Amino acid sequence: MALGLVLLANTQKIKAQTITPSTTVLDGFSTNQGVASTTQSVDITSTGLTENITITVLSNFEISVDGGANFVTNTTTTVTTINTTFTIQVRVAASSLRGMRSETLTFSSTGVNASITLRSVVIPAGNITLVSQLPNNAPPNRITSQNFTDLGGIVFSADDFTVPAGQSWRIQEISTIGFKNADPINQIMVRIWSANAATGLPDGVFHQETLTAVNGPNDPNLTLSLSAPLAIPAGTYWLSVVPILPFNGAQGRWFWERTTNGTGNEFHMRDQLGLLGFGTTNWIPGTNVAAGAEQLVFNIAGTNDVTAPTVTSVTVPANATYIAGQNLDFTVNFNENVNVVTTGGTPQLAITIGSTTRQAAYVSGSGSSALLFRYTIQTGETDNDGIVVDALTANGGTLRDASDNNANLTLNNVGVTTGVLVDAVVPTVTSVTVPMNATYSNGQNLDFTVNFNENITVVTTGGTPQIGVTIGSNLRQATYVSGSGSSALLFRYTVQAGETDNDGIVISALAANGGTLQDGAGNNANLTLNSVGVTTAVLVDAVAPTVTSVAVPVNLTYRLAFDLNFRVSFSENVTVVTTGGTPQLA
């Protein structure tokens, strides 16, 4: 029998090594600067591995391999879970640079690698994304857009965007994704074109400025913050981003990344001097220049404020009684800054004084949230139970916020005005009571009572009020004596020796003479005298009778018991009263 040797080979099947993410692209990351974005989850499946998986994450993103408990960025992390499926969370780091980013998250183990492309937009705090054309998933296509300083010409690449009707945009920042083989990009021209109404192509320049990149001159993804928010009305526009660089031979170029993920018209190019030889001396569609993606990658951030400013409160004048010439000031407070334009008319705040509507006109505050309105009290106005604040009107002017939203002029939280009174009615003289009919002599008083239609306060610090009184042909002054706080003021003149008036004194005028006569509200009294009493019988005789002659006894020798008679003659009749004693001639 033949002896045979049988060798049995124990073969082992070698498994393929794989690392397979559930997606190769994660986009749609968007957040404000300083704030981590929302997370996205990715499943990672591996087979045939003999070593752990190392994940490398760059500085603008962060990942978690423990269900979101901890996130790491700008580092490598090791995953020991191999030959199965595990889940990672990915988000934009709060420390991420502003602008558009396209970065790669890599997975590696011995002999095998995989990657996920991460795309994000980070915009300034307080902004929203207004337009976003993100890269597509294909390898990038790029097109030139540059001011060639050494060649003296500009190649404009431009893509369109639309501000919808009813929106109120203010553009703050524009960001792009690009590639450069150039020197540092120190200056970039941003131009926003208006669209031609007939062709829809770029036409007049709506806005242009030259800027430096937010993230420095070496970042090809240009992020550009405008010098001030740009208000832009509804319509179609075109955007050009143009680095200012020399051509520098075969180098010195910046290329703007293209995408198919856009809206509107495909991008256009204009090379007026024909520097690139594309024949694009006028605006030409991008597909006529180069095949591939038809849109440019860019993001526009800013605000879209379509909310009208509203009145939060109205500050009213302090409780008091206001007189003629004084101001009633009202502050209308809004929930945001308001710009006032008075070219077509001055905004006004209607108020009711008594039963009459008046208008407090806008005075100041444009550009702030507090607008001052003022009404100056006019003579004759009165309100003894409180003025009323009615309505705010533009009156042909405009009140708008920075986004050109017209303010809602409905008044809210108006201050209480029941204690804001008006008394601009001037006190007047109703009558003047004069001295009784008589003849007044030296040392006697001529008293006059001036009666007003309301109580009067007299202040004599600067001078004493007085009434002019003509005695004979001489003007005298009856001065204020008493009555302050009442409606009847007493004035007095004391007759002086030598004064005389035999046909009645005359009252002329009341004067403050440096003092004040005011009602309780502070209105100066009208000093015109009314209903003055009759003074034709108010006489003055303060001239003393004088001896004109003395008749003596005749020449004779007089004996005992003879009378010596003397006759004293006066300048006027004299009445002799002997009750207190008998006059005698020495």
Read out DSSP for 307-348? PPPBEEEEE-PPSEEE-TT-EEEEEEEEEEEEEEE-SS---E
The confidence score (pLDDT) of residue 581 equals 85
Rounded Cα–Cα distance for residues 191 and 274 (Å): 20
User: Among 307, 302, 297, 167, which residue's Cα sits nearest to residue 236?
Assistant: 167
The confidence score (pLDDT) of residue 584 equals 86
**Any bridge partners for residue 268, and if so which?**
158, 285
Burial level of 532, CB count in 10 A (0-12/13-18/19+)? middle
Q: Which residue has the higher pLDDT, 293 or 451?
A: 451
Instruction: Give the amino acid at 64.
Output: S
Residue 457 has pLDDT above 80, yes or no: yes
CB 379 within 8 A of CB 353: no
Residue 6 has pLDDT above 60, yes or no: no
Rounded Cα–Cα distance for residues 515 and 427 (Å): 16
Q: What is the mean pLDDT of residues 369-373?
A: 98
The confidence score (pLDDT) of residue 2 equals 35
Quick one: tokens of 543? 């001239």
Mean pLDDT of the chain: 92
- How many C-beta atoms surround the C-beta of residue 20 within 10 A? 14
Residues 198-236 have pLDDT tens digits of 999 999 999 999 999 999 999 999 999 999 999 998 999
Distances (CA, A) of 478 to 226, 439, 472: 79, 17, 15
The confidence score (pLDDT) of residue 27 equals 87
Rounded Cα–Cα distance for residues 452 and 478 (Å): 17
Q: Please, which pLDDT band fits residue 561 given cuts at 50, 70 and 90?
A: confident
Q: Please, which pLDDT band fits residue 42 given cuts at 50, 70 and 90?
A: very high
User: Among 235, 239, 233, 237, which residue's Cα sits nearest to residue 168?
Assistant: 233
User: Among 258, 253, 254, 285, which residue's Cα sits nearest to residue 269?
Assistant: 285
Q: Please, which pLDDT band fits residue 572 given cuts at 50, 70 and 90?
A: confident
Residue 292 has pLDDT above 90, yes or no: no
Rounded Cα–Cα distance for residues 243 and 145 (Å): 7
Quick one: tokens of 322? 């206001």
Residue 72 has pLDDT above 70, yes or no: yes
Residue 320 has pLDDT above 90, yes or no: yes
The confidence score (pLDDT) of residue 290 equals 84
The confidence score (pLDDT) of residue 183 equals 75
- How many C-beta atoms surround the C-beta of residue 218 within 10 A? 11
The confidence score (pLDDT) of residue 248 equals 67
DSSP SS3 for 276: coil
Q: What is the mean pLDDT of residues 528-545?
A: 93
Q: Which residues contact 326 (CB under 8 A, 6 or more apart)?
A: 376, 377
Residues 147-164 have pLDDT tens digits of 998 888 999 999 999 999
CB 143 within 8 A of CB 256: yes
Distances (CA, A) of 27 to 99, 103, 550: 14, 10, 138
Torsion angle defined by CA atoms of residues 509, 511, 513 and 514, in that order, rounded to the nearest 10 degrees: -170
Q: What is the mean pLDDT of residues 178-184?
A: 84
